Amino acid sequence: MRILTIDTSAIASAALLDFDPQDPVKTAELVANFATVDTRSQAEELAPGVKSLFTDPVAEGPALDAIIVGTGPGPFTGLRSGIAMARTLSFTWGVPLYGMMSLDALAQQVFDTPKKDSAGRALGPLAMDDFVIATDARRKEVYWAKYSAGAHLLDGPHVGPAADIFGVPVFGAGAGLYEEVLVGNRCTVHAPLAHAQPTALELGRAAIRKITAAGSLEGAGLLDSTPLYLRESDAKVPGPRKRAL
């Protein structure tokens, strides 16, 4: 099975992955991957980035088994660009489209990352108990959700100040931005993942985990492509002009 994953909740990213949904032991193969560093150029970078994944998009696109897009939470402009691209490709190529919460990508990265000692030896899972993923929501706030040690969603997503999070390990760019506040709330911040952003590659790995556990796309409990904005848009439709006296 081959899937295209797209996420623009923070950076612009896309990935092509091959896997066998009937064989959960076999590692998924990364066919191609694209990701930016800039968090404000999703609309400009995404289309050429997706195109670069394919040798022949006209032939290879319709052969996909699914397109999976990160639905946020994230800023309006960036998030819309990824979802619009995914919906367009799904319609054009006739490929099924599914959504996943973008924070799941970072939760999967935490799940896959071992805790190591000073000599670099793996000591076990990085998260031994419940943890929080937090990303930058701007306006001095974070998007966040709580997960079990097995990277299963327990609560969220939410948007609000980092001061709302208490007593858990916190991972993601939101942790790096508000480390002092979080540590003051008895949270721990893991430096190597304190600036991590959701990516399409990690989103794909999280999706593959769900699909292989279910044995099929249809039974994996994936979402539709409705965006998780969590806040109202700053752009407002102008009201009627006031009459001059």
Nearest to 126 by CA among 169, 79, 68, 181: 169
Nearest to 194 by CA among 182, 176, 181: 176
Is 120-193 a CATH 3.20.20.150 domain?
no
By percentage, how much of the chain surpasses pLDDT 90? 77
DSSP 8-state secondary structure symbol assigned to residue 233: -
By percentage, how much of the chain surpasses pLDDT 70? 94
CATH 3.30.420.40 intervals, the chain: 2-102+198-214, 120-193
Amino acid present at 50: V
pLDDT of residue 41: 74
Residues pairing with 18 in the sheet: 2, 29
Residues comprising the chain, all counted: 245
Structure tokens at 12: 């612009």
Is 2-102+198-214 a CATH 3.40.50.970 domain?
no
**94-100 mean pLDDT:** 98
DSSP 8-state secondary structure symbol assigned to residue 118: T
Mean pLDDT of the chain: 91
pLDDT of residue 243: 63
Residues pairing with 159 in the sheet: 143
pLDDT of residue 190: 92
This prediction's pTM: 0.90
